Structure formats: C-alpha cells, structure tokens
C-alpha cells in the first residue's frame, strides 16, 4: 500500500516563493543596468589599452652636469647658451681640445652617460638615452674701448681668499703686506698663478696703526730706505710698490725721495694709493725718473655689493673718458663676490683689465 506524499508545509512554500522573487528581481535589475550603460550612439571600436607615457628627460639635472664640466673649464655662465639639447659655448678663448676632452671624460664615467669627441670643438653626450651636442665657438672679438687695472690691497692674511681672487678670470694685481701670517705663501701662489704682485708698504696715516715694518713721518730717510729694503726681501715677487695708508709719509719729499731711489735701483715702479690730496709722490717720482702711477677710484670704502658695483662703474667711466684708470680694493667678502660677478662681464663692454704695470707713466694722469 502506497504511503501518501507529504505536502509542503506553508513555511516551505513561503521560502520558495521569496527565493524565486529575489531571483526574478535580480534578473530585472541586471537587465536595466546593462541597457542604461550602453552609449546612445553606435558602438565604439575596441581600442588598445593605454600605456603610460614615457618619462620626459630630466633636463635640469642633465644641464647641471654639463654646466659643471664647463665650470671646470673656466667658462663663465653668461658664455653658455642652451638651445634644447644643443649647447653653444662662446668663451673669450676656446680651450685646447685635450683640455675639453679631459673635462668631459669625468662625466663619461657616470652610469648611463656616453661621451664622444666629434672634433676639437664639439662634444656629443648621451645621458639616459638623451643626445646632447656641445659646440665651442670662439666669441667674436670686442674692440677694446678702455683699459683698467684693479689692485687688491692688504693681501697676505689669508690663503683661501687669495685662491678665490686668483680664480677670477681677469688680470688683477695684488699688493702683499710684508709681515702677515701668509705673506710668503700668498706671494708665491699669486706669482705661480701668473698674477702681478706688488709690495704693500705700511706707512703712517691718519692716526690708525699701520702695522709692522711701517715707515713714519718721524723716520729718518735713510732708515726709511732700509725698512723698504727689508720689506722687499720678504716679497721678492714684487714688480712694484704701493703705500698702505701713508697720508703723512707721502707728504714728505725727503722720505719719498729716499724710497724712490731704492725702487729705481731695483728697477721697480711706484703706485700712489693717493690717501691724501697733499701727496708729493708724483713730482718726486718725476724728479728721480721713477715709473709712476696713481689710484683713481677706491672701490670698497663701503664694503657692500651695491656700493662696490657703483664704484666699478665710476672706474669704467673714468677709463672711457681718458682711455685707462686704476682702482684699488681690499679682500672683503663683499668685494670678492662683487669682483667675481662684475669683472668678467667688462670684456663684453670693451673694457680690458690689465696689470697695473702697463698703466704706469700714462699721460694726463
């Protein structure tokens, strides 16, 4: 006898009905979403997935590496022009090809950098896949309009400042004091760097202590000559002498004549720092037939960049009017920085910086 089948309980019927309703609802929602997500226009053609854009060249970093090599060659920044990845370098004088090659050979040791010498005045670089061409083009000669000499006084106290000043691309003249901690080292170093050296002889001025080995207004002329001889022995590189302070002594004809006799015997010249308007140095030098010159402009009575720049302009103005001029300054920090910035720019204006010895005995001084 067959057993009767069990009927579904009302609870089970409810569960099945609910589940079925949920399935239908899900299908309806999916259809709506699929329909609304389609664009209204014609279907787009499938496209390739986008690839990330290649990273652009790190131009700034690469420029810095190139500028570093050019700095080692002594090329000032205003003589370098970047035109994309072509670099035009126009120094006053193109460095020898071997020197250019050596400067960029160091860069070739860096990872990802290849250096190729294309000729005596062309270097090709590849850095991280980017090609650079560097051309050395001699600057067009600028006609000389005037000449100036710049004497840096009070040298001998510091070797570091001597190195910084000697690195300036101009023929500065340096006056070294006889009894400073680095007198001998500074004088030798400057001579090796091809710079003209003077003895900066201390003399009595307007009340301030002129320092060791000074000549005073009360000094006997023969004793003054002996003091000068001793000072010259301490700075044998000196091609001439100028006075440190000296507003008292340079008014004394007898003392100056004794000093100038020593200089004439040694084949030297004298530059009057002109610390007083009552100086007798010019007439005395003419009397003993001594090569002579005098200062036109003090550049750094006020040791600030703005003042020094203005005084350099005054010196240039004198030179343009007369054809030449002599300036005097000191190894202050502001002076070193301003000379480093301003002096190399003068060549482009037709102002030639020369050794002071080339301006002695100039007419109309």
The full 3-state SS of 44-77, as one line of letters, equals CCCCCCCCCCCCCCCHHHHHHHHHHHHHHCCCCH
Which of the four pLDDT bands, split at 50, 70 and 90, describes residue 121? confident
pLDDT tens per residue across span 238-296: 999 999 999 999 999 999 999 999 999 999 999 999 999 999 999 999 999 999 999 99
Phi, psi of 305 (to 5 degrees): -60, -45
Residue 79: how many other CB atoms lie within 10 Å: 18
- Position 365 scores a pLDDT of 52
Kindly list the structural domains of the chain, giving each domain's residue range(s) and its CATH number in brackets, ordered by start.
59-136 (no CATH), 146-359 (3.20.20.370)
Instruction: Look at residue 22 and tell me whether its pLDDT is greater than 80.
Output: no
Residue 194 CA to residue 62 CA, distance in Å, equals 34
Q: Which of 49-63, 303-317, 343-357 has the lowest mean pLDDT?
A: 49-63
Q: What is the mean predicted confidence (pLDDT) over 191-204? A: 98
- Position 275 scores a pLDDT of 98
pLDDT tens per residue across span 61-72: 888 888 888 988
Q: What is the mean predicted confidence (pLDDT) over 219-228? A: 98
Residue 223 CA to residue 216 CA, distance in Å, equals 10
Closest CA to 253 of 286, 205, 207: 286
- Position 90 scores a pLDDT of 87
State the average pLDDT for the chain.
86
Q: What is the mean predicted confidence (pLDDT) over 333-337? A: 97
Instruction: Look at residue 55 and tell me whether its pLDDT is greater than 90.
Output: no
Instruction: Look at residue 178 and tell me whether its pLDDT is greater than 50.
Output: yes
Percentage, residues of the chain above pLDDT 90 = 60
- Position 64 scores a pLDDT of 87
**In the chain, which ranges are E strands?**
80-83, 86-89, 113-119, 122-127, 130-136, 146-155, 173-176, 196-203, 240-245, 269-272, 292-294, 297-298, 324-329, 351-353
- Position 17 scores a pLDDT of 52
Instruction: Look at residue 339 and tell me whether its pLDDT is greater than 90.
Output: yes
Structure-token pair, residue 272: 């009057």
- Position 107 scores a pLDDT of 81
Q: What is the mean predicted confidence (pLDDT) over 133-145? A: 85
Which of the four pLDDT bands, split at 50, 70 and 90, describes residue 180? very high
- Position 78 scores a pLDDT of 81
- Position 21 scores a pLDDT of 56
Task: Answer whether 0.75 is exceeded by the pTM.
Answer: no
Q: What is the mean predicted confidence (pLDDT) over 308-322? A: 97
Higher pLDDT, 258 or 118: 258
- Position 23 scores a pLDDT of 56
Higher pLDDT, 53 or 60: 60
Percentage, residues of the chain above pLDDT 70 = 83
């Amino acid at each position: 006898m067959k057993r009767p089948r069990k009927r579904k309980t009302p609870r089970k019927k409810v569960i099945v009905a609910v589940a079925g309703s949920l399935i239908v609802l899900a299908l309806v929602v999916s259809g709506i979403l699929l329909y609304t997500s389609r664009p209204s226009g014609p279907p787009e053609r499938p496209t390739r997935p986008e690839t990330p854009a290649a990273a652009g060249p790190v131009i700034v970093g690469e420029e810095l590496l190139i500028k570093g090599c050019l700095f080692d060659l002594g090329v000032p920044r205003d003589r370098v022009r970047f035109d994309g990845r072509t670099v035009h370098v126009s120094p006053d004088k193109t460095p020898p090809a071997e020197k250019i090659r050596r400067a960029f050979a160091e860069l070739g040791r860096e990872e990802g950098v290849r250096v190729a010498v294309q000729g005596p005045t062309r270097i090709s670089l590849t850095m991280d896949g980017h090609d650079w061409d560097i051309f050395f083009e001699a600057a067009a000669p600028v006609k000389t309009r005037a000449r100036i000499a710049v004497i840096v006084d009070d040298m001998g106290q510091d070797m570091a400042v001597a190195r910084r000043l000697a690195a300036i691309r101009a023929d500065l003249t340096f006056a070294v004091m006889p009894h400073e901690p680095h007198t001998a080292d500074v004088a030798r170093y400057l001579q090796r760097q091809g710079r003209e050296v003077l003895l900066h002889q201390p003399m009595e001025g307007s009340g301030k202590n002129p320092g060791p080995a000074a000549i005073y207004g009360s000094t006997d002329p023969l004793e003054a000559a002996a003091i000068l001889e001793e000072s010259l022995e301490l700075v044998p590189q000196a091609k001439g002498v100028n006075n440190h302070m000296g507003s008292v002594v340079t008014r004394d004809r007898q003392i100056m004549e004794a000093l100038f006799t020593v200089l004439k015997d040694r084949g030297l010249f004298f530059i009057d720092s002109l610390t007083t308007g009552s100086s007798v140095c010019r007439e005395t030098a003419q009397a003993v037939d001594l090569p002579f010159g005098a200062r036109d402009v003090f550049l750094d009575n006020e040791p600030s960049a703005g003042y020094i720049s203005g005084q350099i302009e005054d010196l240039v103005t004198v030179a343009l009017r007369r054809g030449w001029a002599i300036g005097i300054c000191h190894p202050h920090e502001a002076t070193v920085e301003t000379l480093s910035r301003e002096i190399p720019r003068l060549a482009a204006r037709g102002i030639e910086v020369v050794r002071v010895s080339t301006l002695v005995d100039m007419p109309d001084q």
